[in-house]
Amino acid sequence: MADYLKATSRADIAEEAAKYSKLLLTPDNGCQYDQLIELDLTTLEPHVNGPFTPDLAHPISKLGNNAKKSDWPVEIKVGLIGSCTNSSYEDMARCATIAKEALNHGRKSKIPFNVTPGSEQIRATIERDGIAQTLREFGGTVLANACGPCIGQWDRKDVKKGEKNTIVSSYNRNFTGRNDANAATHAFVTSPELVTALAIEGRLDFDPTKDSIKGADGKEFKLNNPFGDELPAKGFDPGQDTYQAPPADGSAVSAVVDPKSNRLQLLEPFKPWDGKDLVDLTILIKVKGKCTTDHISAAGPWLKYRGHLDNISNNMFLTATNADNNEMNKVKNQCTGEWGSVPDTARAYKAKGISWVVFGDENYGEGSSREHAALEPRHLGGLAIIVKSFARIHETNLKKQGLLALTFADTKDYDKVLPTDKVSLVGLDEFTPGKPLKCILRHADGSCDEILLNHTFNTQQIQWFKSGSALNRMKQLAATMSNS
């Protein structure tokens, strides 16, 4: 890591970290451990995870059989490497060695093979060093150094929506419909090297660590272990510098947006806390099971509205499962009794000045740390998200938008929540770090359940809530400083 920091003009950070290496990374003299675990990495078999979740792992030697038993398409339609994850210079170089070996035997990728450089620096450097060209000769298409198919920005034409198929990528997520908006796409994730090797045969039942490949001359060969330099010998090429520094004095700068635009919209500050307890909140949805940021704020075609908060909010909770009916995007309006989509119901509540709350399951908000998954609930009238547990980054994003991110002190209390309940969060005048909040569930029959909710708010984050958002708080502090 120190070498990488130095190679990217951050030697000062490496030097500062080195001062604490012995203190933080070295055990105390004579320390005792309860358990010692030794891992022999030479025995670790490459794995492929999926489909539909990064949690389902398969050793490459068992992937083919597992796919056949589960009726997953064994034929791979597309291989994709790169994205912000798994796109270092070494990653790309290792893939290029596999590509060269295949080319030397007259073989190329059997399937479409897409390469997404992780940054402008990586793009420029692999172009300069011939790595990108090798991947093109292998049959690859080098895409822009942007999110691309990883986040659904993929105008895929080779299969129809609803057609069952398999793709393999080195992206960081593979949730249902994430890459191509096709719920029938079985997306698997693995290392860029393994994606490249699998692309040669185009099948999940090919094990590149053991199986032979037939060359163009009919002779069989096996792939060698890939190798790539960690850092480029010529240093990194920074590529095109498109950064425009802001003016030193921005007081005369104004942002003008056409009010008729459906792509851009100026943000309106969220309302600050009024100093009172949150009483009789309506439940918008009680989410059952996995609820990632893709479930909360779908990507793909929706991303064209990412500069327009109101329009993109129409994607909120589209694929989250409602515990009330086990269906997606169908909730009951507790005022009218009518069933409708989640965003439409939220808008109906907001129009009547009804604030709402969402209840969720374990690891709520896992996945990409997209800001809109926190912005949208706040924009449409949400005040609190109460779950069994949070994914850490999403929890912080909720706090930044002035939402109460709370967890059940007893996870079994999730089962006490009924869709018709009115929810009150009391004792907010004593909202302090480490002190649980009290929640009262008032059921339709008049009975009540009182439960405790934990939180991880620190003093600064509590100020975000009271101010209405972190941005509001920053503006308050800036105004105070300018007036002093």
pLDDT digits (tens, 9 = 90+) for 23-48: 887 888 888 899 999 999 889 999 99
pLDDT (0 to 100) of residue 441: 98
Taking the C-alpha atoms of residue 423 and residue 452, their distance in angstroms, rounded to an integer, is 12
Taking the C-alpha atoms of residue 170 and residue 191, their distance in angstroms, rounded to an integer, is 5
**Residue whose tokens read 């269906």:** 327
Average pLDDT across the chain, whole number: 95
Determine how many CB atoms are found less than 10 A away from the CB of residue 152: 20
The model's confidence at residue 121, banded by pLDDT at 50, 70 and 90, is very high
The model's confidence at residue 151, banded by pLDDT at 50, 70 and 90, is confident
Report the CATH fold assignment for 53-214. Aconitase; domain 3 (3.30.499)
For the chain, what percent of residues have pLDDT higher than 90? 85
Taking the C-alpha atoms of residue 287 and residue 330, their distance in angstroms, rounded to an integer, is 11
> β-strand 404-408 against 448-454: which pairing, if any?
antiparallel
Taking the C-alpha atoms of residue 425 and residue 348, their distance in angstroms, rounded to an integer, is 22
Q: Please name every residue paired with 31 in a beta bridge, in sequence order, or none if there are none.
A: none
Residues 6+ apart with CB under 8 A from 297: 312, 315, 316, 370, 372, 373, 376
- For residues 180-205, average pLDDT: 96
Q: What is the pTM of this model?
A: 0.84
- For residues 159-186, average pLDDT: 94
Q: What is the dihedral of CA 441, 447, 452, 458, to 10 degrees?
A: 30
Lowest mean pLDDT among 45-49, 158-162, 290-294, 366-370: 366-370
- For residues 93-116, average pLDDT: 98
**Residue whose tokens read 């547990």:** 389
pLDDT digits (tens, 9 = 90+) for 315-374: 999 999 999 999 999 999 999 999 999 999 999 999 999 999 999 999 999 988 789 999
3-state secondary structure of 300: helix
- Does the pLDDT value for residue 484 go beyond 80? no
Q: Where are the domains of the chain?
A: 53-214, 278-482
pLDDT digits (tens, 9 = 90+) for 393-439: 999 999 999 999 999 999 999 999 999 999 999 999 999 999 999 99
pLDDT (0 to 100) of residue 1: 83
- For residues 265-273, average pLDDT: 96
- Does the pLDDT value for residue 442 go beyond 90? yes
pLDDT (0 to 100) of residue 299: 87
Domain 278-482 is in which class? Answer: alpha beta
| Alpha-carbon dihedral sign for residues 382, 386, 391, 395 | positive
Q: Which residue has the higher pLDDT, 90 or 152?
A: 90
